[in-house]
A = this chain, B = another copy of it.
Amino acid sequence: MDDETAPQKGTVTQRAIERIKAMIGEGRLEPGQRLPTERDLAAQLGISRSSMREAIRALTVLGVLEARHGSGIYVTQLEAGDLLETFGVVADLSRGPRLVELLEIRRILESTATALAAARITGDQLAEVEKHLAAMNATDDPEEILAHDLAFHRVIATAAGNETMAAILEGLSSRTFRARVWRGYQEEGAFARTRREHAAIHRALAAHDPEAARAAAAAHVGEVEMWLRAQLGP
């Protein structure tokens, strides 16, 4: 009826992945909607349940589908966070020169995001920034500092009003990534400098000064970037 007898390109699993992606792309599957059961889907595409499961698993790790045990398979909201979660994998598996490249990208995006945030940030958001800033300065526990550091930048990225950019920056600041790079950096007594830089960023945000915010954020990330570049050098 509708099995189309496709031209047999690639593996059946790959074809199944494309078919489902196409269904979503064409709007035949709406975000949040529930898909037919694995068994039905397999039957519809004329493949085995095993192959269909692999296709579903693939789309699951991409953040497109979500499988709920005992309930069914659903299309995610297809929001930036869902789809860009895999961005963290890149950061986690990168080393050497590519870490510098990732930091360079983060510097570019973070400085722009901070500039946008300076223009758009609300009072509530600014208060939250201050909360994390204070918490960061009130403790010496590296774990806690790192957590508030991440939150500090996340609030700023959100305030910039570009959810996609916030999600990418989230990936570029993933826990393991930060742990690997920041640890060595902070061990060199960079606490004081970091606090100064965070304060400068906050000052620019409070003053709603985009250019100052851009410069402060670029300098903040740039410091780490330079340090890492030196580490990898001779």
Chain A residues in the interface with B (C-beta under 8 A): 13, 17, 21, 24-25, 50, 53-54, 57-58, 60-62, 64, 78, 80, 83-84, 86-87, 89-90, 92-94, 98, 101-102, 104-105, 108-109, 112, 162-165, 168, 176
Contacts and interface: CB of A to CB of B under 8 A. Distances in A.
Nearest to A89: B62
Contact of A89 (B80, B83, B94, B101): B83
A90 B86 CA distance: 11
A64 B64 CA distance: 18
If over half of A's interface residues share one DSSP class (helix, strand or loop), that class is named, otherwise mixed; here it is helix
B90 A13 contact: no
A102 B24 CA distance: 19
**Assembly of this chain: how many copies?**
2
A44 to B, nearest CB: 20
Contact of A163 (B13, B53, B98, B164): B98
Given A21-B92, A54-B54, A108-B112, A80 B101 contact: yes
A104 B165 contact: yes
A50 B53 CA distance: 10
